[in-house]
Chain A
Amino acid sequence: EDQVTQSPEALRLQEGESSSLNCSYTVSGLRGLFWYRQDPGKGPEFLFTLYSAGEEKEKERLKATLTKKESFLHITAPKPEDSATYLCAVQALGEGSYIPTFGRGTSLIVHP
């Protein structure tokens, strides 16, 4: 069974204090790994898709990386507006197995 585990569950940072969120996964074959940001009371907002080990994507203060077993979301010099829950989802290869499996998320709070 495909599994996605995110850590830590919660993270508190001071403004400017860089850190990383982890998403580890077990799938028979990876079609894509997705990162989302979710603000309270809203739906998840798509951030990145990663398809193969070694791939990296960047957007403002966020950088996502991928290995064969995990992905990291690096947050550089975060600001309070980066506070949100970050979700990771994995889509597997194979007929009938393409429904993304979501992790439970990491709740990030950035203090000014």
Chain B
Amino acid sequence: KAGVTQTPRYLIKTRGQQVTLSCSPISGHRSVSWYQQTPGQGLQFLFEYFSETQRNKGNFPGRFSGRQFSNSRSEMNVSTLELGDSALYLCASSLATGSGSPLHFGNGTRLTVT
């Protein structure tokens, strides 16, 4: 069974630009979550989607947005990039929201903002 796939693996962007990251969950998983990981803050929750609906949102500015498609694939978008947005962005899928099912992570997209 294929794992969670994230593309691209690396991105270098300039301040003020925008970026779109993509995530394909494990087949059969309907819940997709996004996390930001930095050395200073650890894993911070961004948002979670289930059946194309955003179910939860973390404490991030509105520049961070996402969506989920009918095939459960998900994208997240960051507009007006800032230097502080440099991080590893991780996508995780699970069978169902709130069921005690573990998250299964992709290998992330490393975003560098210059």
Question: What residues make up the interface of A, taking CB atoms closer than 8 Å to B?
Answer: 31-32, 34, 36, 41-46, 49, 51, 87, 89, 91, 96, 98-100, 102-105
Contact = CB atoms under 8 A, between A and B. Distances in A.
Contact of A104 (B33, B42, B98): B42
Nearest to B56: A99
B51 to A, nearest CB: 15
A49 B100 CA distance: 8
Given A43-B90, A44-B90, A87-B43, A100 B103 contact: yes
B4 interface: yes
Contacts of A34: 102-103
Contact of A91 (B6, B42, B48, B100): B100
B64 interface: no
A42 to B, nearest CB: 5
Nearest to B108: A43
A43 B105 contact: yes
Q: Which of A32, A44, A87, A98 has the most CB of B within 10 A?
A: A44
Contacts of B105: 36, 43-46
Contacts, number: 50
24 contacts: A31-B98, A32-B102, A34-B102, A34-B103, A36-B105, A41-B107, A41-B110, A43-B4, A43-B6, A43-B90, A43-B108, A44-B90, A44-B103, A44-B105, A45-B105, A46-B103, A46-B105, A51-B100, A89-B103, A91-B100, A98-B97, A99-B45, A99-B58, A100-B103
A86 to B, nearest CB: 13
A87 B107 CA distance: 15
Given A43-B90, A44-B90, A99 B42 contact: no
Nearest to B41: A104
B18 to A, nearest CB: 23
Q: Which of B100, B104, B106, B108 has the most CB of A within 10 A?
A: B100
Nearest to A97: B98
